[in-house]
Amino acid sequence: MKLKIDGELYEGFTIETYSDLPMLINGKEEYYLAKSTEAAGKVVRERWIDMQQNDKAEFRCLIGDERLIQWACDEYDSFGIGSFDEFLDAVENVPNEELASYDSEECEVTEADEEAIEELGFTPTVAYRHN
């Protein structure tokens, strides 16, 4: 399999599909792969919805009591966000903030061979370095 991410050719990697986005694993480097920025954004949005519905303790820890109280009182937080729905819209627009834990940057995938496309089930156009 071959993929070119930000001009660097990757070969001999594995693809893990245990997460909501497939991940290229190449030795010490790991990249989430997505069909588009919009597709990655939808995944991030769904992660937050899932956490809010199924792991309230973690959700509360990450969002913070102060922000939750502000939203409940129809107030805006320090980012100008006034509700969980507005928060979801915001995080969906910047998936790199959550997915690219290495440098918070979205990378461009410019080449993918047929084997990689078949393994992924789509043609990736973006990647996010995870480590």
- CA–CA separation, 106 vs 95, rounded Å? 8
Instruction: Give residue-wise pLDDT tens across range 38-64.
Output: 999 999 999 999 999 999 999 999 999
Domain limits at 101? 2-129
Residue 131: per-residue pLDDT: 86
Number of domains observed in the structure of the chain: 1
Greatest CA separation for the chain:
53
Residue 27: per-residue pLDDT: 86
pLDDT under 70 in the chain at which residues?
none
How much is the pTM? Answer: 0.91
